[in-house]
Amino acid sequence: MDILRYDRQIINIGVEGQRKINSARLVIVGLGGLGSNVAMQMAAAGIGFLRLIDPDKVDVSNINRQPLYNESDVGKLKVDAASQNLKKINSKLELETFPMKLDENNAESLIRGVDLILDGLDGLHERLILNKYAVKLNIPYIFASVQDAFGSVTTIIPHRTACLSCFMKDSDPMPPCAIGVYPPAVFAISSIVASEALAMIIQRKPALAGRLLVFDLETMSFDFVSLRKNPTCKVCGV
């Protein structure tokens, strides 16, 4: 292990924690504002393996909140640009890329074999599919969403905490991020996701397991909602 490279974080997480990070396998579904910023933090922290899933190409309108991409990436597939740029951050990072949209038919195979699922999606329908297979395969899933200056995050540990379907339905309103995104909200939420991810990996108690953090950066309000498993949940209920 490269102790010197990680010495500042080893003070916090210990050598054993760093070993766990180096051998962790993660999937990031969606490489927009949320996913791309989490990917950068995971690569920098020394995560061993990332599977990246996104069907889109880099657009010039992404760059204000997605610094993983730069002007020379415009027009490239996001998974390709992300891979090239993440390798510049950490050449030891192992990557797998899938330039496709997650759906009911491919979700199980796309998330199989990882330790943790990170959410960079922008629609509730895909998130509910992701949640369903996370519960089926018993893989923890960090749900996150951002819109304008608002963000919400929770860490879902299958069969221990509420799953996404326990408290959200496909019919619930959840506008796509095209409506507007305040860049600092993206950076804030991606850091919160990164912190929860590292906690899961080093087996420290994740602060957002079983509770939803909802914040608004315009008023700097941070609120927590306790989440209970719904015994009649179609995904995780008995």
Stretch of 70-78, 79-87, 112-120, 166-174 lying at the interface with Zn ion (CB under 5 A): 166-174
Q: Is 166 in the site for Zn ion (CB under 5 A)?
A: yes
Strand runs labelled E in the chain: 25-29, 49-53, 94-98, 116-119, 141-147, 150-156, 211-216, 221-226
Least separation in angstroms between CB 115 and Zn ion? 21
Cβ nearer to Zn ion, comparing 24 with 162: 162
Which 197-236 residues touch Zn ion, going by CB under 5 A? 233, 235-236
- Smallest gap, in angstroms, from Cβ of residue 227 to Zn ion? 10
Query: What secondary structure does DSSP assign to 109-146, as a single string?
Result: HHHTT-SEEEE----HHHHHHHHHHHHHHT--EEEEEE
**Which amino acid is residue 179, in one-letter code?**
I
Shortest distance (Å) from residue 190 CB to Zn ion: 25
User: Shortest approach of Zn ion to residue 156 CB, angstroms?
Assistant: 9
In the numeric block, which tokens belong to residue 92? 């030891």
Cβ closest to Zn ion, residue 174 vs residue 235: 235
Question: Can you name the residues that pair with 98 across neighbouring β-strands?
Answer: 53
Apex 113 CA angle, 18 and 177, nearest 5: 85
Q: Which of 93, 165, 215, 227 binds Zn ion (CB under 5 A)?
A: 165
Select from 67-75, 79-87, 108-116, 163-171 the region that touches Zn ion (CB under 5 A): 163-171
Q: How far apart are CA 232 and CA 125, in angstroms?
A: 20
Q: What residues have CB less than 8 Å from 91, skipping those under 6 apart? A: none
- Identity of the residue, 163 or 201, whose beta carbon is nearer to Zn ion in the bound complex: 163
Residues of this chain, 99-118, that bind Zn ion according to CB under 5 A: none
Q: Which residues have CB under 8 Å from 197's CB, separation 6+?
A: 26, 38, 42, 116, 118, 142
Q: Percent helix, strand, coil in the chain (nearest 5)?
A: 40, 20, 40
Q: Does 130 bind Zn ion (CB under 5 A)?
A: no
The answer to whether 163 contacts Zn ion (rule: CB under 5 A) is yes
Q: What is the C-alpha to C-alpha distance for residues 7 and 166, in angstroms, rounded to an integer?
A: 40
Q: Which residue, judged by CB position, is nearest to Zn ion in the bound state?
A: 233
Q: Which is nearer to Zn ion, 150 or 167 (CB)?
A: 167
CB-wise, 142 or 236, nearer to Zn ion? Answer: 236
* Total of chain residues touching Zn ion, rule CB under 5 A: 6
Site stretch for Zn ion (CB under 5 A), options 149-157, 165-173, 178-186, 212-220: 165-173
Residue whose C-alpha is closest to residue 123's, from 70, 55, 188: 55
Q: Which is nearer to Zn ion, 37 or 155 (CB)?
A: 155
List interacting residues with Zn ion (CB under 5 A): 163, 165-166, 233, 235-236
